[in-house]
Amino acid sequence: MSYVVTGAAGFIGSRLIAGLNRAGVSEILAVDNLENADKFRNLVDCEFEDYLDKRDFLARLRAHEFEGGIDAVLHQGACSDTMQTDGRYMMANNYEYSRALLDWCQAEEIPLLYASSAAVYGAGTLFREERSCESPLNIYGYSKFLFDQLVRRRLPDLSAQVAGFRYFNVYGPNEAHKGRMASIAYHATRQFLDTGKVKLFEGSGGYAAGEQLRDFVHVDDVVSVNLHFLERRELSGIYNCGTGRTQTFNDVARAAVNGVRAARGEPPLALGELVAQGVIEYITFPDALRGKYQSYTQADLGLLRAAGYSGAFRGVGQGVEQYARALFEKRSA
């Protein structure tokens, strides 16, 4: 097998396999935990050679059964629930699992590309890949932060490529199984299709209702960044993976509604019209998120561009509208 993709049945993992397939690669070992069985749907259109449960994969790894058979590991497997309160579970899934893969890949001189997260930055206003900018707000962010710190300590003595990507707010196909952790683009579209309305949070962190700012990045743009580094084994480090632009939750909701309206042959509506007609409603900010919520994110792309990645990132107007149309068409099929 040439490549291992962990978290293969998940959101980014399944799209990464699809991206490899488009590049003519199907020699892939897909690794995941299918206790949430519905995730299998994300793999139906993917081509790969074999599937292993995460636990079996780790056992075989430790038994040295893969020596000489793997060219690179693309590690997307993790618990991404930012509301998770079981710290032992989070650390086992996100830190210990990643550390085991790092140790094995370095021992075998195999490239490791892995998923980090913009959650490491917390409530800061600077989003550079520097220790001074990092202050996670929850155990999820901390688990990613801790592994990034381990990678940083290892960088001077690497035997093979290690590249981590701090994903910002990723949206796009194959995220439905994530439930409450799916993107605002997904939830806004689903709510509009179900009820004709979209609910957003009232103001928080000094921002007006729906005006919180995030860096929203389409999953296929994330895949393109991974493939860029997969082809350039000399590149190691930790890199932001976002658009480098901020847009509001109102922008996302408007794009989702207008994407569905376009699919129905209806004209687009401005934000003011959507609010006046009650299509967009604002709800009380949840107490459970106070002190744990990023009201602003914006990727600094300096290191990513310096690493030679020149690809364009689609904005919310293009990406979310396209995604919403696809969700509408899938439901209507």
Catalytic residues: 140, 178
Instruction: Quote the CA–CA distance of 7 and 198 in Å, as a whole number.
Output: 30
Question: In a 3-state reduction of DSSP, which class is residue 198?
Answer: strand
Cβ–Cβ under 8 Å, residues 167 and 146: no
The neighbour count for residue 231, using CB atoms within 10 Å, is 9
DSSP 84-98: ---HHHHHIIIIIHH
Which tokens is 35 given? 């206790």
Which tokens is 100 given? 């085991």
Instruction: Quote the CA–CA distance of 148 and 238 in Å, as a whole number.
Output: 7
Phi-psi region of 237 (alpha: psi -120 to 50; beta: other; left: phi over 0): left
Instruction: Quote the CA–CA distance of 120 and 126 in Å, as a whole number.
Output: 12
- Start-to-end Cα distance in the chain: 36
Instruction: Quote the CA–CA distance of 33 and 138 in Å, as a whole number.
Output: 23
Cβ–Cβ under 8 Å, residues 99 and 146: no
